[in-house]
Amino acid sequence: MALTIRSAAPEDEQAVVALWRACDLVASYNDPAEDFRFAKAGPSSDVLVAIGESGAISGSVMVGHDGHRGWLYYVAATPDAQGTGIGRQVVAAGEAWLRQRGVLKVQLLVRETNTKVIAFYERLGFEVSPRTVMAKWLTP
């Protein structure tokens, strides 16, 4: 599938958030619009979108780094086009974005409610890293 991948513009926010919702990537404790704006505002993060032949957004990836590790979030392809290579292309675009910034390791997290995507990531060369993830909510 022929795609153009570019940095999302502010006016893409609504369509990108709708895509994330359609792909069931939104958790009840995250505001996806806020995530979009936060990623777009920082020098170490971005949201990349895949534009299909129709001109509509057909995929996305949020990418960022901490100076050592890169991270991919919200990897999405429109549900009716999953399996056509969009996900593979947006992951490759996220990896290229990181390489351009000298980041040599990319990671992602898969929620236990979304394990159907693990085989997809394994086909792209990702492997399970045995780690304990710890979290703490910071209150404003």
Q: What is the CATH number of the domain that holds 72?
A: 3.40.630.30
pLDDT of residue 38: 97
> Looking at the domain assignment, is residue 139 inside a domain?
no
pLDDT of residue 140: 79
pLDDT of residue 32: 97
> Looking at the domain assignment, is residue 138 inside a domain?
no
> Looking at the domain assignment, is residue 130 inside a domain?
no
> Looking at the domain assignment, is residue 128 inside a domain?
no
> Looking at the domain assignment, is residue 14 inside a domain?
yes
Domain that holds residue 16: 4-123
> Looking at the domain assignment, is residue 136 inside a domain?
no
> Looking at the domain assignment, is residue 140 inside a domain?
no
| Spatial distance between the Cα atoms of 108 and 32, rounded to a whole number of angstroms | 17
Q: Considering its fold, how many domains does the chain have in total?
A: 1
- CA dist 78 → 20, 57, 74, 107, 112 (Å): 9, 8, 12, 22, 21
> What are the structure tokens assigned to 55, written together?
């001109």
pLDDT of residue 15: 98
| Spatial distance between the Cα atoms of 55 and 103, rounded to a whole number of angstroms | 31
pLDDT of residue 113: 86
Q: Which residues of the chain have pLDDT under 50?
A: none
Q: Supply the pTM of this predicted model.
A: 0.92
pLDDT of residue 12: 98
> Looking at the domain assignment, is residue 116 inside a domain?
yes
